[in-house]
Amino acid sequence: MIDRPRPGSGALASAAANVRLWFAPQRIHEEGETPDYRFTLANERTFLAWLRTSLALVGGGFAVDQFLPHISRPLRLTLALVLLVGGALCAVRAVNQWVRCERAMRRGEDLPISRFPTVLALLLAVLSAVLVLAVAFGWAG
């Protein structure tokens, strides 16, 4: 049986139930009806795309730290850490969104909406602007 939060138990219980499904995805099959396999495969492709994004962010974090030695250490470390943390958050968000979408499809509900892509895009735009300025003006330590 799928873990369902008790009435009045709140968002924390719902989040905990979702996290348990990350480690036991077969339990999703106990809920609703099986969607057309093409939708499930599309959901998995989206999940994998988010994981590729996560890996790119992690790689970018290491690249900033290793290949921009002329930028001051505090700035370089900050930029690298933001990218590394962003990569970790992106990976966690990927699995959470995969579970949420799979459950919604099985229930015949609308797919969940997420602000994460917008937040990630804005964060990367700001980070890119800072990197451009740092490289262009050679902010050395």
User: pTM for this structure?
Assistant: 0.80
pLDDT tens track for 25-59: 788 888 899 999 999 999 999 999 999 999 999 99
Radius of gyration of the chain (CA): 19
In which residue are the tokens 């996560």 written? Answer: 54
Window from 10-14, 61-65, 78-82, 104-108 with minimum mean pLDDT: 10-14
Is-contact 102 24, C-beta < 8 A? Answer: no
Q: State the pLDDT confidence band at 70, using cuts at 50, 70 and 90.
A: confident
Name 58's Cβ contacts closer than 8 Å, sequence gap at least 6: 83, 84, 87, 88
Angle between helices 116-137 and 73-107 (to 10 degrees): 160
* Residue spans per domain, the chain: 35-137
Mean pLDDT of 64-79: 91
Asked whether residue 1 carries a pLDDT value surpassing 50, the answer given is no
Mean pLDDT of 106-134: 93
Asked whether residue 103 carries a pLDDT value surpassing 90, the answer given is yes
Two tokens at 37?
A: 């396999």
Q: State the pLDDT confidence band at 141, using cuts at 50, 70 and 90.
A: low
Residues in the chain: 141
Name 46's Cβ contacts closer than 8 Å, sequence gap at least 6: 97, 98, 101
- Average pLDDT of every residue of the chain: 88
List phi, psi (to 5°) of 26: -65, -25
- Predicted pLDDT of residue 29: 84
